[in-house]
Amino acid sequence: MAGPHVLVLAKKSALRMHLDRQDETRHGRVERLLRENDPTVHRMAGSHAQHEACLEEVEAVLAGLGCEAKLVTAAALDEFRVVIDPPQATGRAATAPPARKPDLVVTIGGDGTLLAASHAIGDTPILGINSAPDFSVGFFCSGRLGNVRETLEKALAGELPITSLTRMKVERDDQLLTTRVLNEVLVCCASPAATTRYILEHRGVVEEQKSSGIWIGPAAGSTAAQRSAGGRVLPLTSDKLQFVVREAYTPAGQILRLPRGLVARGESLSVRVKMTDGRLFVDGPHEVHTVTIGDHLHFSASDEPLRLVGVTRRRGWTARSAARRGYRRA
């Protein structure tokens, strides 16, 4: 019988992209900065060395374990458009027999790599390997350079816990944009210097606002932009969403009624766009949707959780951090 089918999704290091000259417009400049040991590229070589070593470690371990492995690398994280187990399409005839579904998806990089890969994943378990732990953040990565064999052996044997992380569904009018937001969505004007104008509605409260934009996302993203903008850290397994208004304009003598809040499963947050040139960014800068005046956006908990291998409640995801002032417990 064939061994476990493992799909490996790996980013290309910044130095690898430079060596491959995938960005000719910056190649000469980066080359000069490297020669001059400029501080802006100082971490590039070290991160590259660790990442390449981790790639070799992962490939060797998977071969030794008898896995049927496929490696996909990407220069830009938005290139991870691998269809693993997509939502069911309706009204379309199958054009090809389905490929064998992976038993496990492994990402090699950091949290950004896992985040990008998560958009292509339905219910297949995903395991993150932090390939350059001295240089990158890997909170969602249960493995790292140096302990790949132990981590993969336990994952394939079913000895690591699997945590279901809530993802968010986004709709524009009657159009479904995505059901797989893991970190957050940013609704804002196309120009970061312009005012974001919209009407926000939550639990019967309707408020017209002006701000720098709104962060909206599930618990997995609550330690990032949501927290930086004044939100709080939600418990890792919470099925609530959080919205946080950025730099709100509040007229003198008035109090904003919806500066931030929690959206329970079964509820929806409504945003009516008042800008002619708005944008909706999904989990970073790579997936962008244009929104314009009159568009009606809806945000709710998705029915497609992400099954994350090996990560449970760790430092930063504590009951104490989840009980910041001004909120009810999730």
CB-CB contact of 208 with 235 (8 Å): no
Asked if pLDDT for residue 122 goes beyond 50, the answer is: yes
pLDDT at 86 (0 to 100): 54
Residue ranges of domains in the chain: 5-86+98-160, 168-303
pLDDT at 286 (0 to 100): 84
Give the bridge partners for 189, in sequence order.
278
Asked if pLDDT for residue 276 goes beyond 90, the answer is: yes
pLDDT tens across 36-91, in order? 888 988 888 889 999 999 999 999 999 999 999 999 887 665 666 655 655 544 44
Runs of H (alpha helix) within the chain = 14-19, 24-35, 44-64, 111-118, 148-156, 225-228
Asked if pLDDT for residue 243 goes beyond 50, the answer is: yes
Per-residue pLDDT, averaged over 91-100, amounts to 50
Q: Report, at the CATH architecture level, how domain 168-303 is classified.
A: Sandwich (2.60)
pLDDT tens across 286-307, in order? 899 999 999 999 999 999 999 9
Q: What is the pTM assigned to this prediction?
A: 0.87
Domain 5-86+98-160, CATH class in plain words: alpha beta
Burial label, 287 (beta-carbon count in 10 A; 0-12, 13-18, 19+):
middle
- Residue 58 phi/psi, 5-degree rounding, is -65, -45
Alpha-carbon Rg for the chain, nearest whole angstrom, is 21
